[in-house]
Every structure is written in C-alpha cells, then in structure tokens.
Chains A and B, each alone.
Chain A
C-alpha cells in the first residue's frame, strides 16, 4: 500500500523520464528520493550529486552511513557550467507559483522592503532560461498557488525567456500539474488517489485548465516501493508532505 508521499515520489521521478545523461538536481526530500528512484529504475543514465561536490556512481539512501562511490567532481563552478550547457533538469521548491509558472523564493511583499525575506533568487533565474525546471510544492494551497508572485525568481511562460526555457512539471501533495496547453497556462495533469478536482480548485488561487477527464496519478509499482523504502528507510518523505 503506497502513501501520498510515495505517490509524490513516483510523480517526481516521472518528471525526469526521458532525460538521459543529464544532472538531476533536486531540492527537498521527496524530489531527492524521486531523482534517485528514476536513476534506479527507468533513467539509469541520470547524473546524481551528493549535494556537496561529488557525482555519485551508486545510489545511496538519503539517511544512513551507506558508502558513497564517487564518479566525478562537481564543485559549484561545474554545476554552473552544466547548467549553462543545458545538461541539467532541476526540481526546486517555490514559495509562490502562478498560472504561467513564474515562481518566487525571494521575498513576500514589496521587494524593496519585504514583509518576509526568503532565501533569495538563488539559481532560479538562470535555471529557468537554461534548462528544464520542475517544481515540488508539499503544501498545495492558495498561499503557494497565487494569482501574482511577489517576485519572479524563476521565469514562467508569459515572460521573455529565450530558446531553452521549459517548465515541465509541478508536483504537489494533491496533484500533478503541467503547462501542456495552447497558451502554456497551468493544467491539471493528474489527481493523487482520493483527491477531488474541487479540492485542487479550492486550493489554487487562480483558474486552472482542467480536462474533462482527469486521470489519477499512478501509484508506485511493487519494485518502485521496494526502492523507495530502501532509499528512505526513515520516512523523510512522509514528514515533508502535508496530508
């Protein structure tokens, strides 16, 4: 029996499906487990970093003392190079996201004197115009899914973005969203088991494109469940997802 968190992990993994030999960068436990799950199953060529400065030849669990086998050196300078070369697909955690996929991790309120300073734009502006970017929102609500983000730290589809822009997927604790619409506005791609369209609509601060028949988000296979358990024996994924 898979939990909501397990469904989210598999949905995150699916974001990297077909990416091949590129760096899968992930922020947050669920995307980290998702990237490693993809590497262990259907995307064996993905490059994974240990979050510090090494590329991993093996796929260790998130927690615990399992030995890391290093296949490369990846200091931040090299991450920036891979990023600019487009050989990367990152999954970030926005504080706010809008209908066109603009996202904010910079501040809440007016930037010149914010009511809440967040971490800062980090690599968001560069990521979104250089290579595919996806997002993970563990608490889907009208606070995170807003009409207008307070600061565009990651570029959406309604802004100038150049030739390498792609916002591929938004995975939340309720559903999976994408931008596969004529005007690249956000679309409900699938609903996690037990979640209703109404719940998603109520939790979203703008109008979504909702197909007539919304499929259910797939549940992990038995093999995937075994992999998820071995990657995350202490259930970090469960504590990250708002139920």
Chain B
C-alpha cells in the first residue's frame, strides 16, 4: 500500500488510534498523508506527540483522547496547547494507564476493565461517562475503564514483511500491539519491507510482536517517523523539532512552515524538503 491508499480507507468522523509515544516512533508519513487529505472531524487516541499537534494545527481533529501530549525534549506540544486554549478541540483526558487499559479492553472485546487509576482524580470529573464499580468479590471500588474501540489504527515499525508481520528493533514497543488489536482497520508503515525469511536477521524472535493477523496493510516509508525517533534506525531530529515548535509562534511563521513542509504533493516531496532545508 501507499500512504494515499491508507487515507482512502479512512472516513470523516472516525476514531483513529496512533501508535508510538510522545515524539517517538510515530507513523508520521501516514499523519502527513491525512494532512494532505480532506479528512476532518477525527477523534484521535494517542500517547500524544507531534501527530496530535499537526492534526490539530490542520483543523482535522474534533476530539483528542490522551494522557499527555508532549514532544519529550520539548515538554509541551505548542499546537495542541493552542488548540486546547482556543477551545478548538474537545478532549477526553485520562491517566496514561487508563488509555492502555481502554485499548486492552477493546482488544479483548470487553466492555470495560476495572482498575484503580482515575479514582479520586479530576479525570472522573471531566469524563462524567466514566463509572465506578464495586468488586463482586469484596468491597473494593474501582474505575470501570471503558473499551477504547478504534475505527482505525496507524503504527510505524522498523521492519515488516509484505504479509503484514511487523518488527520493532528499538527499546520499546510502546502500545502499538494494543492499538492494532483495538481497531477495525489496521495499518502499519515501516522503515523497510524485507523478505519474511530475513526478519530474524536484525532482531530476536521477541521483536516480532506484530503478527500478520493484526494488520490489514503495510506501507514502506523510509524515514516515515521523521522527525520523531525511530531507534535504532535514526534518532529524533531535534533541530527539525525545534523548528516545528518555534513555527507555532504565529500564524505567519506557521503558514511558512506549512508551505515548505506540509503543503507538498507527496511524502517524497516532504523528505526532499527536509533534506534541502529551505526554512529557518
């Protein structure tokens, strides 16, 4: 598949889960393809980073389901901040463990899973739909974290085969497996598509966490996580991330950033623009 093929499978108003964590191994080429599309009114479920920021800045987002949104080395995501402070996007704020538990419930086709996180906090106040349940085996009161069912999931892996097996070679899978298992339509980009028999050449069997029953389509996207990190293939592009964050300062600086890097015809054109610079 191509990024455009994935976008063609998405619809206005969908709930879309995006893998990775903060500014780490995000399926950015798929996010950029959404930016180039007419898609809108999306609900985004994410351990949020620049995926959330870019989609908010482009007016694609109706609601963000999040535990945090951060660029890691830059603690606050400026575009997400702007969207929240202007009231442009709705929010479902959760504890980060609640987000995981909601995906896990959806993956297990359960309506909810009990947990302690959230109890007593304002996460309950701002999400009045969240319920407390009493243990059927005792007196414990627990938060019933509802399943976070996704219409679609987007993740980025280091390697994959053409049949849809995925491999992470970095230090952390994050929760990419859960996003895929919680979703109806499951799309995986990767740095490189390899022959199945070559999958174990770069990592142990433990890195093959994504089996082909968990995905519906694979996109080969070299440097597709740019500017987030994709260890061990490449680290975060900190200089570019700084440029991205600084461009949020005004409408003028942002429209110039968008003109150079986002309002381009393809992912190839984006990668070419990154190589040649052209923005300061």
Q: Which residues of A are interface residues toward B (Cβ below 8 A)? A: 52-54, 73, 75-77, 80, 83-84, 106-107, 111-126, 128-130, 151-155, 159-162, 164
Contacts and interface: CB of A to CB of B under 8 A. Distances in A.
Interface of B: 21, 48, 66-70, 75-76, 80-81, 84-87, 93-98, 100, 115-123, 125-126, 140-141, 171-175
Contacts of B86: 113
A123 B173 contact: no
Contacts of B174: 75-76
Contacts of B81: 116-117
A124 B172 CA distance: 21
Contact of B118 (A54, A118, A126): A126
B93 A129 contact: no
A90 B121 CA distance: 17
Nearest to A149: B122
Contacts of B121: 121, 124-125, 128-129, 152-155, 159
Nearest to B123: A125
Contacts of B96: 80, 121-123, 126
A116 B66 CA distance: 17
Contact of A116 (B85, B126, B141): B85
Given A115-B85, A119-B75, A125 B100 contact: no
A162 B69 contact: no
Contact of A153 (B48, B122, B140): B122
Given A84-B97, A114-B84, A125 B117 contact: yes
A29 to B, nearest CB: 14
Contacts of A106: 93, 122
A130 B87 contact: no
B95 A76 contact: no
A75 B171 contact: yes
A162 B76 contact: no
Contact of A77 (B48, B100, B120): B100
B98 A125 contact: yes
